[in-house]
Amino acid sequence: DAKTTQPTSMDCAEGRAANLPCNHSTISGNEYVYWYRQIHSQGPQYIIHGLKNNETNEMASLIITEDRKSSTLILPHATLRDTAVYYCIAYNTNAGKSTFGDGTTLTVKP
């Protein structure tokens, strides 16, 4: 898997959009960008993934730059329950396994 780089921590006000960046400058053409989050002492939870196009689901939006070297996860209206560690993974289908980086600790504040 390509290496991903994320800020260590971020704060966000409740009700505002949370924009979490991820750099994956060495991503290859067949690697997907996956986002998971982990709330304290729980297993990770899938959020969203994409290859080239921007994606949106009920949880979040994923914006991938045209050169695919970076992406941004957007939580449109952050709540206190969105406080978690967010992991961005460049997933190689051929490798068949996920390598987690250090992630971003997002703290949503009232």
Partner 1 sequence: GAVVSQHPSWVICKSGTSVKIECRSLDFQATTMFWYRQFPKQSLMLMATSNEGSKATYEQGVEKDKFLINHASLTLSTLTVTSAHPEDSSFYICSAPMAESTDTQYFGPGTRLTVL
- Residues forming contacts to partner 1 in the complex (CB under 8 A) are 32, 34, 36, 38, 41-46, 49, 87, 91, 93, 96-103
Least gap, CB of 13 to partner 1 (angstroms): 25
Contact assessment for residue 87 and residue 35, using Cβ atoms and an 8 Å cutoff? yes
Nearer to partner 1, 13 or 39 (CB): 39
- Residue listed under structure tokens 């941004």: 72
Nearer to partner 1, 45 or 54 (CB): 45
Q: CA geometry: angle at 43 spanning 49 and 63, to 5°?
A: 20
Cα–Cα dist 4/33, whole Å: 10
| Helix (H) / strand (E) containing 31 | strand 31-38
H-state helical runs in 3-109: none
Nearer to partner 1, 12 or 88 (CB): 88
Least gap, CB of 26 to partner 1 (angstroms): 19
Least gap, CB of 104 to partner 1 (angstroms): 11
